Structure 1
Amino acid sequence: MVTEQDALLPESGSQNSRYAELIEPIARWSRGFSDYETAIPGLGLFRREGPAPPAFCMIEPSIVVVVQGAKRMWIDEAAYRYDVSRFLITSLDLPGRSEVIEASVEQPCLGLVLRLDRFLLAELIAQGVAPLSRERGSVPSVGLGAATPALLAPLARLVALLDEQAAIPILAPLILREIHYRLLQSDQANRLRQIAAVDGHGYRIARAIDWLKTHYASPMRIEELASQAQMSTPTFHQYFRQLTTMSPLQYQKRLRLDESRRLMLNEHLDAASAAFRVGYESPSQFSREYSRLFGAPPKRDITNLRRTSARPS
């Protein structure tokens, strides 16, 4: 069943005023780009000048804040709409589909992506920053958070550093620490605690995902992966699916297919070479699974992607 995760705050005109200090610099720095990697480690800006259908992407543990317009993230069959009243947060690396639903040339969809620092979160949690949650068990690794003034203020100061780049090495770490503190004080504290607490299931699944990202082309033995995570195989399966919405094997398959697409598109490998590079032994199996995920056989899909990217904006 397709469900959309609703906002935690109602949209209002006053909400836009909270973003006044973010809209101008993001619009200026992203002009001419779809995605802009800034000089601040872990901070990226984005700009979309029209609605766009869902596009496959790999999401890092991060927050995504829209300061103008609206987007929707699809994780499996669940849809998360985020806009000026709520931000998207992911606590694990997840495959998803990103959709632009409100944007125009006159009022582009603008925002920022900030990668989360798991070690900084763990340090702050060890200092007793995050309030203890009454919830038991694991929570999904993706959700929506309320965009509060307490969080937006340090984000605005962080983006403002792009105009004072000599100060970035000194001030950015202090502001990033405050942002992580604010997140641990927010309605998303339990989601973040789950992947930062070293004795928790979320932290162990995150370590397993780190291994899969590095060894996606290697054969995978679930028993060995569960052992590395210090879990029984059934428990590992249960929490992996609960947190990522897919099995470890499905997750590895997504990593392989996403990487094969990148190899064909950017490094101009043919389908068979890309299939072998990412760990497939059968090109025909690769073609079937690629078509099932991306909606077209490898050669046709890559041709369509190149044709689309070559069109004038």
Structure 2
Amino acid sequence: MEEELVARLEHSSDAVNPRNSSSGNAAPLVANDTRRLAQALSRWARSDGDHETPVAGLTLHRRHKLTMPLHCIYGLGIGLTVQGRKQVIVGDELMTYSPGQSMVTSIDMPVISNVIQASVAQPFLGMMLTFENALVVEIAERLQLSQRLKDEAFKPLSVNELDSGVLEALERLIALFDQPELLKSLAPLIKEEIIIRLMNGAHGPHILHVVSAGSPSQNIAKAVAWLKLHYTQALRMDDLAATAHMSPSTFRQHFRTVTGMSPLQYQKQLRLQAARHLMYSENIDASSAGGLVGYESSSQFSREYSRLFGHPPQRDIKRMRVQ
């Protein structure tokens, strides 16, 4: 499967989601407008890798060369490419985002991503800021934004033009790294500002679909959150559907609409990604990793792992270590 994805990504490096359009009140940006932010990221992310920051939920990312497709989970939040280009596959949809664009994830989503433009002279630079779901819901209720929910097709991950207000707020957030005495007090306020600006912009309808009380999307979001915490347990569809106040058939339909996959497929992705992390980061053998994430059969684990990642577990981990 991973080889197919590589070919698909190589033949679509200029693909941009045709539904990506900008709306909202702030002016759209061009790539040059993110140059100052790229300089700030270069200062704090000096080497390749994923870098934690003093701001909770904010990570910086740097790569000096193109990367292979990586399976990961994107949580509720905003991602920016400020130098280089990146592609993300969500279900069957391929998205590209570049400097001057923002990517917002409204619900925890298994995705496949890779850097498609980077070099030693011009490394890929990106950032991700995640939000607590409770905070997003509280802000929407406080400002009564959910009452403005439009009847639009919901997308769990949307790419739109980055507006100047969000960019300026992100610059102020990173500037706090040099003001540790102010960071604890001001960072939460700036994060709230960013959430409010996103809700009032092009990404707003997709975020509000998830936080609107009683909406099918919000109920699915709760089910997704439960699965993320309990993916090792046996999946009882009737019980999961009951927690979302839906019949099993309706639950499956809404779940696929929101996430692009069935509940069982979602659980498999969580399990297999967790097993891959255990083997790669903690040197746990394949049989033990499969058991730890909920598989009772080693052969089934190996078969499903190979189907998702393109190689049997041991060969896949060995391949990752030499990249």
**Would you say same fold, with TM above 0.5?**
yes
Counterpart-to-counterpart distance in 1, 2:63 and 2:270? 26
The answer to whether residue 37 in structure 2 is matched with residue 25 in structure 1 is: no
- Whether 2:172 is the aligned partner of 1:157: answer yes
Q: Provide, for residues 239-264 of structure 1, a one-character-per-residue CA deviation record: whole Å limited to 9, x for no partner.
A: 11011110000111111111111111
Counterpart in 2 of 1:219?
234
- Residue 75 of structure 1: aligned partner: 90
State the TM-score, normalizing by the size of structure 1. 0.92
Normalised by the size of structure 2, how large is the TM-score?
A: 0.89
Matched ranges for 1:296-307 at <5 A: 296-307=311-322
Aligned length: 303
- Asked if 2 retains the 8 angstrom alpha-carbon contact of 1:131 and 1:185, the reply is no
The answer to whether the 8 A contact 2:209-2:218 is kept is yes
Partner of 1:258: 273
Aligned residue in 2 for 1:311: none
Q: How has the CA–CA distance of structure 1 residues 130 and 231 changed in structure 2, closer, same or farther, with 3 Å as cutoff? A: closer
SS of alignment partner, residue 69 of structure 2:
strand
Which structure has more RCO (C-alpha within 8 Å, separation ≥ 6)? 2
In the alignment, residue 132 of structure 1 is paired with which amino acid? R
Aligned match of 1:5: 17
Give me the whole-angstrom Cα distance separating, in 2, the residues matched to 1:20 and 1:257: 38
Aligned residues of 2:149 and 2:209 also touching (Cα < 8 A) = no
Query: Structure 1 residues 129 and 197, CA, compared in 2 at 3 Å: closer, same or farther?
Result: closer
Question: Mean Cα displacement is larger for which, 196-205 or 149-158?
Answer: 196-205
Equivalent in the alignment of 1:179: 194
Unaligned segments of structure 2, at least 5 residues: 1-7, 23-28
2:133 to 112, 118, 130: 118
Answer yes or no: is 1:104 the counterpart of 2:119: yes
Gaps of 5+ in 1: 309-313
Match of 2:232, SS state, is: coil
Greater mean alpha carbon deviation, residues 97-106 or residues 119-128: 119-128
Aligned equivalent of 1:43? 58
Is the aligned partner of 1:277 residue 2:289?
Answer: no
In structure 1, which of residues 112, 135, 138 is the aligned counterpart of residue 151 of structure 2? 135
CA distance in 2, matches of 1:267, 1:23: 33
Deviation at 1:35, TM superposition (A): 0.9
TM-fit CA distance, 1:208: 0.8
Deviates more, 1:16-25 or 1:227-236: 16-25
| Alignment match of 1:62 (pick from 56, 63, 77) | 77
> How far apart, CA to CA, are the structure 2 residues paired with 1:76 and 1:164?
41
Q: For residues 264-292 of structure 1, what are the alpha-carbon distances to aligned partners after superposition, in whole Å with 9 as ceiling and x for unaligned? A: 11222211111111111111111111101
RMSD: 1.8
